[in-house]
Amino acid sequence: MTTMDVANSDRESAAALDRADGLRRFRDRFVFADDGVVYLDGNSLGRAPRDTVVQLVDVVESVWGSRLIRAWSEGWMDLPLRIGDRLGTSLLGAAPGQVAVADSTTVCLYKLASAALAARPGRTEIVTDRDNFPTDRYVLESLAGDRGLTIRWIESDPARGPEPDEVAAVTGSRTALVSFSHVAYRSAFVLDMQAITRLAHDAGALTLWDLCHSAGAMPVELDANEVDLAVGCTYKYLNGGPGAPAFLYVRAEHQRELRQPIWGWLGRREAFEMGDGYERAEGITAMLSGTPPILGLTAAGVGIELVIEAGIAAIREKGIALTEFAIALADGWLAPLGVSVASPRDSSRRGAHVALAHPAARTLCARLIRDGVVVDFRAPDVVRIGLSPLSTSFTDVWDGLDRLRGLLEEEA
């Protein structure tokens, strides 16, 4: 179907795409209690899986309620690594023993960036980009300020993101760490993880990738791309719930060398011995710090299993179809009204959200939300629509962009 066909067709065309959707049955696995809201923000907070409610009630009533503190030795303590292995082996291309679910994305970033910088003494530079997600930039700025390091900022087109040649231009013998988001939070641009990681290694630096906008939406191959370190959240496409714990990945070959800075009792060898002094645990366990958040881990585990059940290849295929549909509607309906697509046109370089640029984006987002179409505003001029493949329908996309078209026509 061409852009013109989409623009001139009716809502039934979207409904037909929904009926042909191989993942349509998964939409019924989520809670819909929002009275007809068109939810196009699943890349910020995923919908609640129905199984999460069941599992949380079971943990509270049957485990916490009956086993009490005994539950720690009956499986609770193993959750960060057990869920980490499920996530890593099934969705991140990581062999067992390299992923742990713990802390927040910011804390995980701090731990891994700090450990990476300490492992490259004498090197004085960090490479990242101006359009990297704010928490990534702030953590790196904090560490650079504390250690007297320099950040080599890449000034890329926000709709395009850093390309390997731009990274090569600022990477060299002084580079300690190269850190980017795999999928840009504003534009959905997919960076070339393999090429950028190879460039960093050629310079003797380590890499740290933020997977927040790719985990659960598209295949990730951490081991195959020889990534050193990675972090990500579980509350977006993995549907782990608000404030769900993040995850971190440390390549096996680095686990003996790297020393994370937040020494807590769970990262110590023989934690329950409560011994004097800190002796780091073996493997990925050394990256843990405090007591696991059992309810948060339970919810994250449910969301991760749902994504695994659906299959990441099928999810990626639908994510591409949804974004292609949204872009076709934008070209046909919204471009004549002053909207431009600020995401890559090449689906292989685009994640599962679409950025629509308009000078009045902030006001448009507020009015859309008021009218029951939940989207995101991203400064300075982007209406961001997140198309979470398991819970977003083609009809949702049609209805949301049709309402945006109506607002723009009112203004015109």
Nearest 10 degrees: Cα torsion 223, 169, 185, 229: 30
**For residue 323, what are the contacts with CB-CB under 8 A and spacing of at least 6?**
188, 343, 347, 350, 352, 353, 354, 387
Task: Give me the catalytic one of 123, 384, 403, 405.
Answer: 384
Our measurement of the distance from residue 308's CA atom to the centroid of its chain's CA atoms, rounded to an integer in Å, reads 16
How far is Cα 63 from Cα 349, in angstroms, rounded to an integer? Answer: 44
Task: Give me the catalytic one of 210, 228, 396, 399.
Answer: 210
Among the listed residues 293, 378, 379, the one whose alpha carbon sits nearest the alpha carbon of residue 107? 293
- 135 membership: H or E segment, kind and range: helix 134-147
How far is Cα 3 from Cα 234, in angstroms, rounded to an integer? Answer: 34
284 φ, ψ (degrees, to nearest 5): -65, -20
Looking at the DSSP bridge assignments, the partners of residue 38 are 373
**172 CB burial (10 A radius; 0-12, 13-18, 19+):** middle
Q: 216 in the Ramachandran plot: left (φ > 0), alpha (ψ -120 to 50) or beta?
A: left
Q: Hunting for tokens 């099928």 — which residue is that?
A: 314
Task: Give me the catalytic one of 174, 186, 236, 403.
Answer: 236
Q: Are 407 and 374 in contact (CB under 8 A)?
A: no
Rounded-to-5 percentages of helix, strand, coil across the chain: 45, 15, 40
Annotated catalytic residue 133: yes
Annotated catalytic residue 210: yes
Q: Are strands 206-210 and 175-181 parallel, antiparallel or unpaired?
A: parallel
Annotated catalytic residue 236: yes
Dump strand ranges (E) for 71-149. 99-101, 125-129
Task: Give me the catalytic one of 133, 185, 247, 325.
Answer: 133
Helix, strand or coil, per DSSP, at residue 207: strand
Dump strand ranges (E) for 51-199. 99-101, 125-129, 150-154, 175-181
Q: Are 224 and 193 in contact (CB under 8 A)?
A: no
Task: Give me the catalytic one of 30, 185, 189, 235.
Answer: 235
Structure tokens at 344: 């890559």
Structure tokens at 189: 């641009």
Produce one character per residue of 135-147: b if its CB has 16 or more CB atoms within 10 Å, e if not: bbbebbeebbeee
Catalytic residues: 133, 210, 235-236, 384
